[in-house]
Amino acid sequence: MSVRQTWAVRQDGGTTSWFDVRLTFADGARVDALAVLCGEGVRIEDVRAEPALSLDDLAVLADWLEDPLFEACVTAAAGGPPAPARRARPEWPRGREGCRLVAQEYRAAQEAGADAVLAVMRATGHSRRKALRLIGQARDEGFLTPRRARRGTAGDG
């Protein structure tokens, strides 16, 4: 489900916001809706579906959409980060403390025989590339041993 805020109107100390909502299913079916966030509630003003929905399907759709749609609309209207129930990145300290924690996660995964980079990715919420960068910083800070000795320096023959 994708939710995109299209416009907002401020009036009498409150804001009414409109959102374009799109649901795309694996079989190619699609539902487009116009949702309105006003006060504490979200309403659906317009629904277009391909293939068309029956009244029973529409009732089930409303039940299925209610919580995720409200959460997405409130989050988008607030301009904030995704709500914690969604895939929010955990708080992770920066600098030396962050490097120390990365090293702990890395070593714990190694001792358990698990993928150490994946463990750092899960702990930090970052991509593989960023996790590798954090592991490198932990090595530079001395929390992890160097990866490998460099071979073949100039002058070796």
Burial class (CB in 10 A: 0-12, 13-18, 19+), 32: middle
Q: Which of 83, 76, 81 is nearest to 7 (CA)?
A: 76
d(CA 94, CA 86): 23
**Tens digits of residue pLDDT in 26-69:** 788 888 888 887 766 778 888 898 888 887 777 767 666 766 67
Q: Which of 4, 149, 148 is nearest to 73 (CA)?
A: 4
d(CA 7, CA 89): 27
Indicate yes or no: pTM above 0.85: no
Place of tokens 């994708």: 2
How many other CB atoms are found less than 10 A from the CB of residue 8?
13
d(CA 155, CA 71): 63
CA distances from 42 to 20, 66, 153 (A): 12, 8, 66
Helix (H, G, I), strand (E, B) or coil at 37: strand
User: Residue 143 has which token pair?
Assistant: 């929390």
In single-letter form, the type of residue at position 70 comes to F
d(CA 6, CA 17): 8
Query: What pLDDT is stored for residue 74 in this prediction?
Result: 65
**Tens digits of residue pLDDT in 79-125:** 655 444 444 456 778 888 889 999 999 999 999 998 888 888 888 87
In single-letter form, the type of residue at position 84 comes to P
